[in-house]
A and B are shown apart, each in its own frame.
Chain A
Amino acid sequence: MTSLVIAEHDNTALKDATAKTVAAALQLGAPVHVLVAGQDCRAVADAAAKLSGVEKVLLADNAAYAKMLPEPMEQLIASLAPSYDAILAPATSNGKNYMPRVAARLDVPQVSEILAVESPDTFRRPIYAGNAIETVQVPAGKKVITVRTAAFKPVESTGSAPVEAVSAAADPQLSSFVNEELSRSERPELTSARIIISGGRGLQSGENFHLLEKLADKLHAAIGASRAAVDAGFVPNDYQVGQTGKIVAPDLYIAVGISGAIQHLAGMKDSKVIVAINKDEEAPIFQVADFGLVGDLFQAIPQMEQELARLGY
């Protein structure tokens, strides 16, 4: 049978979370179809059709899916489910929102945030903030899975699958979209950036995040934060990295004024290289850091910036 991947997108661009989820789906060994549900999102379907390994793209273009509200998404995915053996979505705020509804509707358990596919019915996933990794086997029947995208490499875009329109399912009209306040930034997205600089309570204010921004400009880095920095209002909520925020695994993660609580480490400890800048030598963040700088961030960050400038960055 076939696997269905639900695409992540904003009606104009396909997000690379989709290419990573396709990579996970291909490991199940079955043909992969991608569902693009949205409004005026033909361009997204065309981009999905290029993802390597995808056999077919289903396009459900309807106002009901413009914001991927979970109630109509559940109806749509459930209407397509009879043709599929596995349904996968990225563990984004959208995927986490609609997928458990689909699982409940199909009366099957959901496997959340898989890190690895061991065999077509056996998966590894993190529990207890990533302090333990469980290997679970799914019983016979349909599989509903969300994928931790930081754990998979995106497939390339060298394919050319056909795009087929599918009709919208009935909209239960239980919910409606009111508005959105999206953080605008010229920087790379946290979950796809190669370099991330995150600030914690040690930054002391939102103003001081400008220090990190200057450094980020030089390194083309994304900016992240600890929960404490978000709670204090220094930066918006979508900057939060951690167990209950975004899970990231960039090539380089620079933690500035962050102590390294379990919940923060859960979101970044799979980064390739970790740097910690903290004035407290005992801070737990140093236990996972490849390079540590013990000192005052208000001196260290400008010094780093100067050194980079000297080297022509």
Chain B
Amino acid sequence: MKVIVPVKRVIDFNVKVRVKADQSGVDLANVKMAMNPFDEIAVEEALRLREKGNASEVIAVSIGPQAAQETIRTALAMGADRGILVKAEGTVEPLAVAKILKAICEEEKPGLVILGKQAIDDDSNQTGQMLAALLGWPQGTFAHRLEIGDGNIKVEREIDGGLQTVELKLPAIVTTDLRLNEPRYASLPNIMKAKKKPVAEKTPADYGVDTTPRLRVLKVAEPPKRQAGVKLKTAAELVGKLREAGVI
């Protein structure tokens, strides 16, 4: 079966964003960008499925500006077979991303789509679930471990109280959590090879999807700042302060 992995180009996780002075958004000029960390985990998992013989082909898809091509190249360098870049400027909301992915799934007929659980820029945690609903497929979100069976997949999931395992009929949607695997680094020869792998370029219109945002962002502001407090010398002093503050 084919596996599709949607990969989003986001601000690097080590960068602390700055809100623009006019509160219109965050400043992304000259900021280091990278593949969403959960999507690296998704690519890695797809590659492992292919290496185990469970998957025949791994297709990386990104929706974003021309520069999202780099994110697809990263996936190809890790080992994905080909890419699809759907070029769109500005914010593309999870619902629109899901609609584009749905159209791609109808064309490609994958057995599995593995997404990240959350993009670390919009922190939405929506796209995989939306895609599942649009396709009428089952979903295993926040995946901790996968096991492919005959026409089904077992997904062990990270939930609030611990771990839960569900069994899904294939085709299905999986979203990754942090401990599913440790993504590999791309080797130099593989980075070179990735340059020759095919990347198709599309537009949302090719899939009949309007990407105009539906939510209106009125303002983007700094969160309230905390002041650094006092440093204390001893544990006894600390206990005293906590009693004074009335919290213990």
Chain B 209-236 against A: per-residue CB contact (8 Å), 1 yes, 0 no?
0000011111111110010111110111
Name the CB-closest residue of B to A179. Answer: B165
B41–chain A nearest beta-carbon distance, Å = 11
Chain A 76-112 against B: per-residue CB contact (8 Å), 1 yes, 0 no?
0000000000000000111011111111110111111
Once the chains are docked, how many angstroms separate the CA of A293 from the CA of B215?
Answer: 44
Is B129 within 8 A of A101, CB to CB? yes
A304–chain B nearest beta-carbon distance, Å = 4
Q: With A112-B124, A181-B163, A307-B236 given, is the CB distance from A132 to B215 under 8 Å?
A: no
Interface extent on B, as a size class? 35 or more
A63–chain B nearest beta-carbon distance, Å = 15
Is B124 within 8 A of A110, CB to CB? yes
B67 CB within 8 Å of chain A: no
B242 CB within 8 Å of chain A: yes
Is B162 within 8 A of A252, CB to CB? no
Name the CB-closest residue of A to B96. Answer: A109
* Interface-side segment among B49-57, B139-147, B184-192: B139-147
Task: Out of B228, B239, B245, name the residue touching A311 (CB < 8 Å).
Answer: B239
B167 CB within 8 Å of chain A: yes
Is A180 within 8 A of B167, CB to CB? no
Once the chains are docked, how many angstroms separate the CA of A104 from the CA of B97?
Answer: 11
Chain B 9-40 against A: per-residue CB contact (8 Å), 1 yes, 0 no?
00101101101000000100000000000100
* Interface-side segment among B74-82, B106-114, B115-123: B115-123
Q: With A126-B123, A237-B158 given, is the CB distance from A97 to B166 under 8 Å?
A: no
Is A131 within 8 A of B223, CB to CB? yes
* Interface-side segment among A24-32, A33-41, A135-143, A204-212: A135-143
Among residues 288 to 312 in chain A, which have CB atoms less than 8 Å away from a CB atom of chain B?
288-294, 299-301, 303-304, 306-308, 311
Is A293 within 8 A of B214, CB to CB? no
Is B179 within 8 A of A303, CB to CB? no
A90–chain B nearest beta-carbon distance, Å = 10
B132 CB within 8 Å of chain A: yes
A287 CB within 8 Å of chain B: yes
Q: With A104-B98, A109-B94, A112-B126 given, is the CB distance from A69 to B120 under 8 Å?
A: no
Task: Out of A99, A109, A251, A308, name the residue touching B239 (CB < 8 Å).
Answer: A308
Is A133 within 8 A of B229, CB to CB? no
Which B residues touch A180, using CB under 8 A? 159, 161-165
Task: Out of B130, B168, B242, name the residue touching A273 (CB < 8 Å).
Answer: B242
Residue in A70, A92, A274 whose Cβ sees the most chain B Cβ within 10 Å = A70
* Interface-side segment among A52-60, A159-167, A238-246: A238-246
The 6 A-B residue pairs with the shortest CB-CB distance, nearest first, are A303-B235, A100-B129, A174-B138, A290-B229, A104-B130, A101-B133
A-B CB contact pairs (8 Å), 15 listed: A74-B133, A93-B159, A94-B160, A104-B134, A109-B215, A110-B94, A133-B220, A134-B220, A137-B218, A138-B215, A175-B166, A236-B163, A244-B118, A275-B242, A290-B230
Residues of B whose CB lies within 8 Å of any CB of A are: 11, 13-14, 16-17, 19, 26, 38, 93-95, 98, 117-118, 120-134, 136-142, 144, 154, 157-169, 172, 177-179, 214-223, 226, 228-232, 234-236, 238-239, 241-243, 245, 247-248
A-B contact sample (6 more), CB < 8 A, given A180-B159, A180-B161, A291-B242: A100-B94, A104-B95, A104-B130, A108-B95, A110-B130, A244-B38
Residues of A whose CB lies within 8 Å of any CB of B are: 67, 69-71, 74, 92-94, 96-105, 107-113, 122, 126-139, 172, 174-183, 191, 195, 219, 227, 230-231, 236-238, 243-244, 246, 251-252, 262-263, 269, 272-275, 281, 286-294, 299-301, 303-304, 306-308, 311, 313
